[in-house]
Structure 1
C-alpha cells in the first residue's frame, strides 16, 4: 500500500510543478524531515482514504528544507525533527505568518553499528569524541584494531543539528564540529545501509528506521527502546514536529487534527515512534 501511495505522491508532485502550487490546486503540501517522512505518509494515506476529496503531496529533503518552504509559503506543513529556531520565528513574524508547533510524537536517536561489531554500548562522552574525530580506532573503545568510519546526516537534517548539539558538543555552548573525515549521508536509510555493509561504520538514525539488519548501541548503558524513550531515561531522545499555520482551516485543519487524534497517533506508534 505504501509503495502505491508514494508513487501517487510523486505523480502529484510532478503535476504541481507545472500547475502553480498547492493553494491553486487545493493540494496540501507537506515537506521536510526524512525522519518522519514515512509516518507522515502513513497518516496522509489514511486521511485520504477517509476523505476521498483530499489531496496531499508529501516530500522529504530535511527539516531545514521544510521550515524554509513554510517560511517561503511553498508548503502548508513543515515536518521537522528539530525545534524551529528563534531566527526562523522572527522571519515568520516579519512576513505576517503565525506558526504553530504541533508535536507529532517522540523519537530516540539510535546509534547503530554493524552486527559483526563486538562493541555493544558507548557512553555519551565517548560518542562525542568519536564523532568529533578524536577517537579514530575501534580498539580504543573495546573493538577491533580498525579505523572507525563515522556517518552523519547532512546539514539540512534536523537530526544532524540535534545530534551535533547534544552529542558532538556535549550539550554545551561551544563551536565543536563533526570530525573532518565524517561521511555525510542523505537519509536515515542510507546510513543504515552503509552500516549494514561496513563492519567498521557507526551512524545514527531515527528509531522508526531501526530493524534487525544492524545493531543498536546502548548509550550510557541504556538501550533506545520505546519504554526508555517514553520514560525519558534514554539520553538522546527528542520530540518530532509538524509546523503549521495557526489560522489553518478546511482539509489542512482536519489533517492536523487527525494526526494528533488517537487514530493518527496509532499510526505514529505503528511506525516505530512514541505517541505524544
Structure 2
C-alpha cells in the first residue's frame, strides 16, 4: 500500500465516523436539552439549540407526576420479568434444537422459526382475539407472555450452542451428568455474551412497545411509558419542554443498559456467528 494515501484515508474514515455519530446523537441531545427550555423555546423560529436560561422545572414537574412515575416503574418491572422469562424459555429451546435428538426435530424447528418471516402487524388482530378469549386483557401477563418465545432469539442462541465443542458435552455424559446438569452447569455459564445480547433485545423490545399495550391494556395502573408519552399532548396540551423532559427520562434506562453492556454485546454477536 502506498503510505502517502494512508493518512488521508484514515482521516477520511475518522471524519465519516464522526459525521455518523453526530447525526445519530443530535436528536437525542436536542431532546435532552429541550427539557431545560421554556415552553415557547422548544419550537422557536429560528431554531435555537441551547436555551436562553437553563431551567430544571420541566424535569421536576414530570418527576412529580404520579402517572409518569407509575408508568416508568410498571414498565421497568414488566421489562425485567419479560427479559428473564425470554432468556429462560429461548435458551432452553435453543439448547434442545442444537444438542438433542428427538422425533420431528426438523419439523418443529421449522415451526419455531417461521414467525421470523411473519410481520407482527399481520397477526396483531388474531393475537388480540386469543388473549381476549383467555381473559388476559388488562393484566401484566398479557404484556409479557405472548412475546416470551421469540424465534429470532432461539435462532441466535442455537447458533452459539452449535459452535460449542461436543467433546465437553460427551465427557460430562460419560461422567454421569444429566442433560439438565450439562445445560445449567456448562452451557449457561458459557453463554454470558449471547445472553446479554438477547436480554438487551428483550428489554428494549418490551420498553419501546406501543401498539400492543395500547391494544390490550386500558387500566391506568398498567399504562406503559410509551403509552403515557403518546397521550401526553391530549392530556397536558402543548407543553413541549415537559414532554422532552419525560422522553429523556424514559430513554435513560435503555441508554444506560447499552452503555454498560456494550462490550458484551460486541463479544456476544461475534461468538454467536453463523455456523
TM-score of the superposition, structure 1-length normalised?
A: 0.23
Give the structure with higher Rg (CA): 2
Q: Which has the higher contact order (CA 8 A, sep 6+)?
A: 2
**Higher strand content, 1 or 2:** 1
Question: Which structure has greater helix proportion?
Answer: 2
